[in-house]
Structure 1
Amino acid sequence: MDISLIIPLLNEAESLPELHSWIKKVMDQNGYSYEVLFIDDGSKDDSWNIISQLSEMHPEVQGIRFLKNYGKSQALHAGFAQAIGEVVITMDADLQDSPEEIPGLYQMITQENYDLVSGWKKKRYDAVLSKNLPSKLFNWSARKTSGVQLNDFNCGLKAYKNAVVKNIEVSGEMHRYIPVLAKNAGYDRIGEKIVIHQARKYGTTKFGMDRFINGFLDLITIWFISKFGKRPMHLFGALGVMMFFIGFASALYIGIKKLLKLYHNEAAILVTQDPWFYIALTTMIIGTQFFLAGFLGEIILRTKNKEKRYKIAATTQL
């Protein structure tokens, strides 16, 4: 199979028939063999009924329905697990991503040998203050922190080699950073393609300003995980040893100073009245806690079990 198209959605009943017709037109024109995986992330409208009808009428259409809203990352994870196409393409269901971009993305993966190609909505139809400016700041921060030189990390229109989606773990709200996850997994041929961004035709956006705050927090998380996720003792252990050494040196200083004063018959204050005593005590406690945090992190990494991150309520024929 040439292409697996994964489309996560939440309450997009109005756009689904038009989106499917548009996808089918593009695929038939280019002669692709393909599947369309609609991932219903707990919609409350008629989205699942429409997906079920499309699946009955068109064998290439499949659907997965979550029991409740788990988030876009979990929807993509479920789609990646099912995808069998040589190239996996993700897009949003709100008609702001154009299916006309599919052939170009497919060619960049198959002919130019990219591992991953991310769309870049260079010209956007969103409000400047509420989305464009925060998005520019967010993308700048992501480039500087991750080293992945993309202009639009949050674009839902992306293409991957099948091997890439099978070897990355998308959890939490890390869908924004799939290129970073791919790079960390060893897939460093990452490209970018300018794509058309269309004004929303139906409904309203499902994301507010809080996504940028969450995005920055996730950026810090993924930076930490990429650096120390597989070796927490390297960070916490090193900090713990350093803090404990500072505390031990402070305690040694207090002891030597006290002994010298006593040796020379000089007046000496009580150890508990010396500020260095509290510096020594505090840093040694903090150092021990850091060391234990690293030690526990190593134990957790070696014993953790994979958890079921979402519950599927229904599927069409898979």
Structure 2
Amino acid sequence: MNISVVIPLLNEEESLSELHSWIVQVMNKHNYNYEIIFIDDGSSDNSWNVIESLTKQNSNVKAIRFLKNFGKSQALHAGFAKAKGDVVVTMDADLQDNPEEIPELYDLILNQNYDLVSGWKKKRYDSVVSKNLPSKLFNWAARKTSGVQLNDFNCGLKAYKNLVIKNIEVSGEMHRYIPVLAKNAGFSKIGEKVVKHQARKYGETKFGMERFINGFLDLITIWFLSRFGKRPMHLFGAWGVVMFLIGFSTSGYIGISKLYRLYNDLPYDLVTNSPYFYISLTTMIIGSQLFLAGFLGEIILRNKESNENYKISNELNMN
């Protein structure tokens, strides 16, 4: 199969039929063998009924329905697990992503051997204050932290080799950082393509300003996981040993100082009267705790099981 189009959605009943027709038109024009996978992330409107009708009209349309809203990352994870195309394209369901971009993305993956190509909405039709400026700041921080040189990490329109999506795990709120996950998994040829961004035609955006706060927190998380996720002892253990040695050395110095003064019949206070004694004791305790945290992290890492963080209530055409 040439292309799998994976589309996560939440309450997009007005746009689904139009989006489906547009994608089919592009696929037929280029004679692609394709599948369209809709993932209904717990919609409360008529989205699932629209999808059911599309699966009856077109056997290439497949669908997954979550029991409730689990989030875009979980929806993408479920779609990636089912995708069979040599090239997998993700896009949003709100008609702001243009299906006419798919052939060029497909060519970049298949013929120019990119592992991943991310869209760049260079000209946007979003609010400057609520989306454009925070997005620029967010993308700058993501580039500096991850080392992946993309201008638009959060663009929903991306294309991947099938091998990439089968070897990364998108969980939590990590859909923004799929290129970083791919890089950490060893897929280094990551490209970017300027794509058309269209004004939202129906409904309202499902994301508010809180997504940028969550995005920065997730950025810190993925930075930590990329550097220490496979070796937590290297961080916690190292800091634990350093702090323990500082505390132990300080307490040793205090003890030797008191013994020296005692031996030479000099005036001295009790060891416990010195604030440095308690500082050194606290430092040793914290150091021991950090070391144990690293040790426990290594044990958890070696015994963890992969769990799916979502529940599916229905599937259509998935055989």
TM-score normalised according to structure 1 size: 0.99
* Paired residue type of 1:166: K
Q: State the shift of 1:274 in Å.
A: 0.9
Instruction: Return the alpha-carbon distance in structure 2 between the equivalents of residues 37 and 63 of structure 1.
Output: 5
Q: SS state of the match for residue 246, structure 2?
A: helix
1:209 is matched with 209
Instruction: Return the alpha-carbon distance in structure 2 between the equivalents of residues 177 and 305 of structure 1.
Output: 22
Q: Deviations over 1:59-105 (max 9, x none)?
A: 00000000000000000000000000000000000000000000010
Q: Superposed, which structure 2 residues align to 1:119-130 within 5 Å? A: 119-130=119-130
1:87 is matched with 87
Instruction: Return the alpha-carbon distance in structure 2 between the equivalents of residues 125 and 317 of structure 1.
Output: 35
Q: SS state of the match for residue 63, structure 1?
A: strand
1:257 is matched with 257
Q: State the shift of 1:276 in Å.
A: 1.4
1:292 is matched with 292
1:47 is matched with 47
User: Aligned-pair RMSD on alpha carbons?
Assistant: 0.5
Q: State the shift of 1:302 in Å.
A: 1.0
Instruction: Return the alpha-carbon distance in structure 2 between the equivalents of residues 308 and 150 of structure 1.
Output: 29
Q: Deviations over 1:2-31 (max 9, x none)?
A: 000000000000000000000010100001
1:59 is matched with 59
Instruction: Return the alpha-carbon distance in structure 1 between the equivalents of residues 255 and 25 of structure 2.
Output: 82
1:145 is matched with 145
Structure 2 residue ranges without an equivalent (≥5)? none
Identity %: 73
Instruction: Return the alpha-carbon distance in structure 1 between the equivalents of residues 127 and 305 of structure 2.
Output: 43
Q: SS state of the match for residue 13, structure 2?
A: coil
Q: SS state of the match for residue 203, structure 2?
A: coil
* Paired residue type of 2:98: S
> Is residue 196 from structure 1 mapped to residue 196 from structure 2 by the alignment?
yes
Q: State the shift of 1:307 in Å.
A: 2.2
Q: State the shift of 1:263 in Å.
A: 1.1
Instruction: Return the alpha-carbon distance in structure 1 between the equivalents of residues 317 and 33 of structure 2.
Output: 18
Instruction: Return the alpha-carbon distance in structure 2 between the equivalents of residues 17 and 52 of structure 1.
Output: 11
1:11 is matched with 11
Q: Deviations over 1:189-218 (max 9, x none)?
A: 000000000000000000000000000000
Instruction: Return the alpha-carbon distance in structure 1 between the equivalents of residues 243 and 79 of structure 2.
Output: 46
Q: State the shift of 1:279 in Å.
A: 1.4
* Paired residue type of 2:50: I
> Is residue 101 from structure 1 mapped to residue 101 from structure 2 by the alignment?
yes
Q: Deviations over 1:237-285 (max 9, x none)?
A: 0000000000100110011100110111011101111121011101000
> Is residue 274 from structure 1 mapped to residue 278 from structure 2 by the alignment?
no
Q: SS state of the match for residue 155, structure 1?
A: coil
Instruction: Return the alpha-carbon distance in structure 2 between the equivalents of residues 64 and 167 of structure 1.
Output: 21
> Is residue 180 from structure 1 mapped to residue 180 from structure 2 by the alignment?
yes
2:231 is matched with 231
Q: Deviations over 1:219-239 (max 9, x none)?
A: 000000000001000100000
Q: State the shift of 1:306 in Å.
A: 2.1
Q: State the shift of 1:308 in Å.
A: 3.0
1:315 is matched with 315
2:134 is matched with 134
Q: Deviations over 1:115-160 (max 9, x none)?
A: 0000000000000011000000000000000000000000000000
Structure 1 residue ranges without an equivalent (≥5)? none
Number of equivalent positions: 318
